[in-house]
Amino acid sequence: MISASFLAIKDNIKENINKLDKTTIDLLHVDIMDGIFVKNKTWDIKEITNLLENTNKPKDIHLMVSDVRKYVNDFKTLQPEYITFHYEAIEDVEDMIKYIKSLNIKVGLSIKPNTEVSLIKPYLKDLDLVLIMSVEPGEGGQKFINSSTQKIDELHTIRKDNNYHYAIEVDGGINDVTIKECVNADILVVGSFITNGNYQEQIDKIRG
C-alpha cells in the first residue's frame, strides 16, 4: 500500500492535495509536527481540516509531537484510519494505545532510526501498525537509512512467529530504488518522490 505524504508540497497545497487524493494511492499520510518533539512545525487541526475538506482517501496521521493526548483529541475529529504516535514522546505507551483504540481508531506506534525494535516488543500484540522511521523525523526529502531494512525484517519475523496483526509501515527516503529494501513492509510512506513529479506517473513507478 502507498500512503502519500504531502509534506513536500509548497505551492497551492489544497489544490495539490486534492490532485493527490484523486490518484491511486491507498492512504493520505498527514505529518503533524509541533516544533518541540521535532524542530519543524506543521499544521494545526483547523488548517488541516481546511486542507483536507474535499478529500476521500483514508487518513494516516503521524504525530511527531510531545503532547500526544492533546493532538489525538484534536485530530480524532478527522475520523482517520490510523493515528500513530512516537514511542520516544511518551511515558505511558500502553495507556495511549488503549485510549486511541477506545476512539475506534486504529493505533500505530513509531520509532526513530536509533530506537531498537526490542524496546517496543511489549506493545506489539496490541498495535494495528508499527511505523519505522527510515530517516530522522521532522523533514522531508532525506536519504533512506539502510539499517531500517533489518527492523522491517525483524518486525516481519516477530509478527509471523506470534501471529500478531500489525501492519509494518516505513517512512522516509522511499523511491523506486529504496523500495527494494522494503520487501517485508505493508505500507510505504512516499512523499517528495511523488509530489516532485507527475503524481500518477511516480506512483506507477513505485508500484513497479
Q: Which amino acid is at 123?
A: Y
CA angle 84–89–92, rounded 5-degree value? 90
Q: What is the pLDDT of residues 62-109, one digit of tens each?
A: 999 999 999 999 999 999 999 999 999 999 999 999 999 999 999 999
Active-site residue flag, 31: yes
Active-site residue flag, 171: yes
Q: What is the pLDDT of residues 186-208, one digit of tens each?
A: 999 999 999 999 999 999 999 98
Kindly report the pTM of this predicted structure: 0.96
Q: Which amino acid is at 27?
A: L
**pLDDT at position 141:** 67
C-alpha cell at 148: 531500517
What string of DSSP letters covers 12-39?
SHHHHHHHHHTSS-SEEEEEEEBSSSSS
- The active-site residue, picked from 34, 74, 128, 171, is 171
Domains of the chain: 2-207 (3.20.20.70)
Sign for the pseudo-dihedral over CA of 23, 64, 49, 58: positive
**pLDDT at position 190:** 96
What are phi and psi for residue 41, nearest 5 degrees?
Answer: -130, 135
Q: What is the pLDDT of residues 125-147, one digit of tens each?
A: 999 999 999 998 876 667 899 99
- Are the CB atoms for 208 and 178 separated by under 8 Å? no
Q: What is the mean pLDDT of residues 52-60?
A: 97
State whether residue 198 is helix, strand or coil.
Answer: coil
- The active-site residue, picked from 31, 34, 60, 74, is 31
In sequence order, which ranges of the chain are alpha helices (DSSP H)? 13-21, 45-51, 68-75, 93-102, 148-162, 192-195, 199-207
